């Protein structure tokens, strides 16, 4: 029988960052985490997770880099689920289940990227509006 490995994090600790390789997933034993992406140096929260939830599985299942970053919101204890543990279960799964999982992962990754793009456009639009307002104020002051 394998003994579960526990990792502890303090509030504010980054558990992993977007783009990192994914060698394990985590089950939250205690505490809460926030999953987020960065867009134009702005944090965009995707979801907060709590006790009993798993995260970090996507990179392990599809071999892609981490699609988001995760930060502990409070003192947090995580059970490490190794890539081997996930692979063994995933490989033994029904082919339809594997296909469904693969499609869901692709859709989540697509939605993360779409969120980033929309956030970038929103930030860009805000900057354009502010610049236009400043120019208008400057022109009025010169009149």
pLDDT per residue over 104-142, tens digit each?
Answer: 988 888 888 888 777 766 655 655 555 555 665 655 566
Kindly report, residue by residue over 46-82, the tens digit of the pLDDT.
999 999 999 999 899 888 899 999 999 999 999 999 9
> Residue 106 and residue 102: Cα distance in Å, rounded?
6
Q: In the structure encoding, which two tokens stand for residue 112, read together? A: 């993360």
- Report which of residues 63 and 8 the model is more confident about: 8
- Which residue, among 34, 22, 46, has the nearest Cα to 76 in the 3D structure? 34
Is the pTM value of this prediction over 0.85?
A: no
Q: State mean pLDDT over 19-48.
A: 92
């Amino acid at each position: 029988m394998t003994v579960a490995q526990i990792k502890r994090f303090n509030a504010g600790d980054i558990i992993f960052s977007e783009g990192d390789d994914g060698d394990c997933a985590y089950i939250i034993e205690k505490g809460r985490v926030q999953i987020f992406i960065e867009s134009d140096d702005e944090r965009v929260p995707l979801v907060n997770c709590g006790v009993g939830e798993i995260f970090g599985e996507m990179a392990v299942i599809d071999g892609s880099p981490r699609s988001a970053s995760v930060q502990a919101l409070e003192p947090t204890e995580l059970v490490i689920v190794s890539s081997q543990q996930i692979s063994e279960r995933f490989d033994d799964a029904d082919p339809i289940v594997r296909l469904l999982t693969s499609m869901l992962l692709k859709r989540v990754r697509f939605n993360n990227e779409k969120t980033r793009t929309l956030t970038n456009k929103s930030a860009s639009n805000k900057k354009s509006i502010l610049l236009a307002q400043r120019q208008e104020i400057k022109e009025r002051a010169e009149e």
